[in-house]
Structure 1
Amino acid sequence: MPTALSVNLNKIALLRNSRGRDYPSILKFGRRALQNGARGLTIHPRPDQRHARYQDAYDLRALLEEFQEAELNIEGNPIDEFMDMVLDVGPDQCTLVPDQPGQITSDHGYDLDMDTETLKPVIEKLKRFDVRVSLFMDPVPENMAKARAIGADRVELYTESWAQAFMTPQEDQVYEQFRLSVLAAREAGLEVNAGHDLDLQNLAMFLTIPDIAEVSIGHALTVEALESGYDSVIRQYAAICSLSMESRPNKDF
């Protein structure tokens, strides 16, 4: 099966929140993502809800009724408020991430030598509600079986190290680390997702690793969309401003 693209809408939500109204709308951009080939939508609401909000999860769940083949993935640290929302919304997948409350972005995976006892009841609860569980993990092959042992269905490999190594002398070494991690996960009975700093330059090479079920991409995708469309929009604004008064549309008062 081809790798599924799940578009992370957090940066759209961050722009929306900065102006206090629904512009840009994550529902509109979520719909556009699905209409253009994405097979899922992701949000990662943090406790301060500085970008994605808990209400967005409900709204996106309703949107996905129009796209029966697409999936909703909700990421986050399983604090009580987050878990209440996830169990109420019922996403297709919940990706558990060891974020701290004030953290700018995710920067490490779970340490299952320390986090197992905390995670096991959370995973059991999610699975009772028929939610597929993915654990955010560093690419350490020997840890993949540990994730399966506590009930995870998938792991999401944290790919910042790949983004940093791409096109450097470390590329082959880091690629091999991820390849072996995917292999170990599959041998343990896990499916494999990946995400964080994947972009249009480094994604194709990364996906030569077999058996990656899904990639979640948001920040780079949003920046690349700005870069691709910025010149065109500036030209349109400049053209409007350069029109003479006689050339502008008439307004009846």
Structure 2
Amino acid sequence: MARKPVTWYIATLADGIIELSRHAGTPVNLAANVGQVVDHPQPCTNLWFDERPFSYFRMVKRVGEALEDTGIWPITWPVRLWIVEPLGEAGNWGQRHYPYRLLSHRIRVLEETDAHRALGAAGRDVLDVVQQQIPEQAVRWAADWDADPEGMRQRQWNWAQCGGRACGSGRWAESVALTTSHAHRESAAQTWIEHLARRAVDQALEDTNASMYAYSYAYGRATGHAVSAQHQDRLDPYVLDALRGTGLDSSTADAA
């Protein structure tokens, strides 16, 4: 039985330029070369050594890892995701640690694909949480903290350390999420998701007088909500509710 062809991905910023190539002063624009063969402008002589910041094209076959090692900083959204075909000699730094990565000096840019896929199988839902839900909730989370810092500190400690019948402990749930991301080759996706969630909090609280501790609390709640969206079809409610911080909201806690 013939193997399914491997699909390779490269992520760029919105202008389509590979960020590492921009840093090296030899910008390669994938958006301007769809359907074309692109040769590396300054390929490394020794395969596959970093002789300069941009020595080869880097691509991955696990779309959830496409945002790893891109050179894009600060982490932002939107990005663009490209399907490419490696041509000529290709390799990587070792199959044991990098089985999903490939390096080459020549590629063909096949097409652009939906960028949300780089945030995992549930990328659309993750973006909805980050862009629509967190901005509104962040203000409430920060207000809850500043209204009762000592009470919230105790409540947060209980959430982090103590599980129960309804949901597990927060720290345990976070470790489960990390392991799940690794198992599904979405570690880079989770890293970006968490950064995007924290940035959404920063934007939501920019014009408020929220304290430093309120910011920190809102960051934790936001990343938990976003990562729970990433794994909503993989983890059961016992883990997902812990990630979301069920019971931490003042109304829920007061009712309890």
Question: Per the shorter chain, which TM-score range?
Answer: under 0.3
Q: Which has the higher contact order (CA 8 A, sep 6+)?
A: 2
